[in-house]
Amino acid sequence: MLIPHDTRIALDTVVDLVNTAPESEPPPDDPADTPVDGLADVAALYAFAERHHISGVGTLGEKDLAAVRDVRARFAEVFAAPDPRTAADLVNRLVAAAGTTPQLTDHDGYDWHVHYFAPDASIADHLAADCGMALAFIIVAGEQERLRRCEAPDCGHAFVDLSRNRSRRYCSSRTCGNRLHVAAYRARRKEAAG
């Protein structure tokens, strides 16, 4: 599957955004622990915008934080959608609410690419438009099943499976995948020894 560079960046951004939600955190070992919201405050929102090089952010406040959290929740619904029609409906509503105005741009040393948000859009509308269109690209390609959640029982992070044969099961083969393989190996060894 050939994905343009700007679409890939938007997919990485939407995955990271969805994974900031407390419900995407592993269940706590200690019931007193509560999952942490990766967008707990405006400072975290600024850090997210900087990490993803979101242009034209300006001054952010509590209203922006609430709006981005709402967009995040709607993106999580797209990852949980049972079929392409449901996912398409969710994406259509997100993109329409953002008031998309596609335009070609070549800023900050990047080649020509399309921005789908209005020039003075809020950060929530920026994310809804650009990330929503990236998800639309996946749905239009008939690849909605690539929008997944990690199968590790103690995880749940979102990811986009870009493997050739759509076989990726974990958000990270280095962490979740490796941890489960090691646990299975140890269980087999223990069973063989016992």
pLDDT in tens, 42-88: 999 999 999 999 988 889 999 999 999 999 999 999 999 999 999 99
pLDDT digits (tens, 9 = 90+) for 164-180: 888 888 887 666 866 66
Residue 165 pLDDT: 87
pTM of the complete model = 0.84
Residue 149 pLDDT: 93
Q: Which amino acid is at 128?
A: A
φ, ψ at 147 (rounded to 5°): -85, 105
Over residues 124-153, the mean pLDDT reads 93
